[in-house]
Amino acid sequence: MAEDDGLLGRVKRKLVDSKEKWAREGRLLTALGGKGARTRLPPGQRPVKNWPVLDLGVQPDIDLERWELVVDGLVENKLSWNWADWRNLPHTRMVTDIHCVTAWSRYDNRWDGVPARHILDLTRPLPEAKHILFHGLDGYTTNLPLAAFADPDVIFADGWEGEPITPHHGGPVRVVVPQRYFWKSAKWICRLEFLAEDKPGFWEVRGYHNAGDPWREERYG
Ligand SMILES: Nc1nc2c(c(=O)[nH]1)N[C@H]1C(S)=C(S)[C@@H](COP(=O)(O)O)O[C@H]1N2
Ligand SMILES: [Mo]
């Protein structure tokens, strides 16, 4: 039954291939690297239904007439948008989870905004750009490697659940970086800086982990 053997062989091959793929991804392991490995809740987190407000206690007063977002540093195309220009950029909707280092996670947040990928397309970082630094209007900063910034789920959000993001949560525009603890998600974003060298931000120089991957539980240090 050469033909049957061939079929069986093909089926087995498929099974082996998918198991091998699982092994590469670390599937069914808990909270060890690789997307396939992920249970939804990172280690040490608990889900909440509300959305806590956390910041430095200084919520800037923002006038949309004067609002501006600047992209500078190591890019071919330095750009800035005022509010009207920003609203005219193509917007995308994404649903992602929040994981805060203070151990709460909030599932299924519906964001509207401009994906980081689109900002990369428009500004074109130079080859030597390897890191980025977000600047908030309150003076807050937080850093990411360019590769993490380029994740397809990173968004400059101006809407949450179909409504404008409130000033408390960083409106008119805040960053959301779902694959990192939430301190990497700068509120009141006013500047995106591309850098050759890493430049740790506000919490990163105060004992928080430089990378902040919740799946690796990179909280402090
Ligand atoms: N500009 C700015 N962004 C910030 C912060 C801040 O103090 N200023 N705090 C960070 C921290 S520590 C957290 S947990 C989240 C909280 O966002 P939320 O208040 O919308 O929950 O924002 C992050 N982004
Ligand atoms: Mo935080």
* Residue 52 beta carbon below 6 angstroms from any ligand 1 atom: yes
* Residue 204 beta carbon below 6 angstroms from any ligand 1 atom: no
Q: Which fold has domain 2-28+42-51+65-206?
A: Sulfite Oxidase; Chain A, domain 2 (3.90.420)
Torsion from C-alpha of 8, 10, 15, 17, nearest 10 degrees: 150
* Per-residue pLDDT tens over the stretch 149-206: 999 999 999 999 999 999 999 999 999 999 999 999 999 999 999 999 999 999 999 9
* Per-residue pLDDT tens over the stretch 132-151: 999 999 999 999 999 999 99
Q: Name the residue with the closest Cα to ligand 1, atom 11.
A: 183
Rounded Cα distance between 159 and 95, Å, is 11
If one residue of 54, 104, 135 were mutated to test the ligand 1 pocket, choosing by the most ligand atoms within 8 A of its CB, it would be 54
Distance 55 CA to ligand 1 centre (A): 5
Distance 219 CA to ligand 1 centre (A): 15
* Per-residue pLDDT tens over the stretch 70-118: 999 999 999 999 999 999 999 999 999 999 999 999 999 999 999 999 9
Query: What is the pTM for the complete model shown?
Result: 0.85
Ligand 1 atom nearest 169 alpha carbon: 20
Whether pLDDT at 28 is above 90: no
**The amino acid at 157:** A
Rounded Cα distance between 106 and 17, Å, is 35
Distance 186 CA to ligand 1 centre (A): 6
Q: Name the residue with the closest Cα to ligand 1, atom 7.
A: 55
Whether pLDDT at 21 is above 90: no
Ligand 1 atom nearest 58 alpha carbon: 7
Distance 182 CA to ligand 2 centre (A): 6
Distance 120 CA to ligand 2 centre (A): 26
The angle at the Cα of 53, spanning 86 to 30, to the nearest 5 degrees, equals: 95
Q: Where are the domains of the chain?
A: 2-28+42-51+65-206
For residue 130, CA distances in Å to 74, 141, 156, 157 come to: 9, 17, 20, 23
Residue 174's beta-bridge partner residues? Answer: 157
Ligand 1 atom nearest 53 alpha carbon: 19
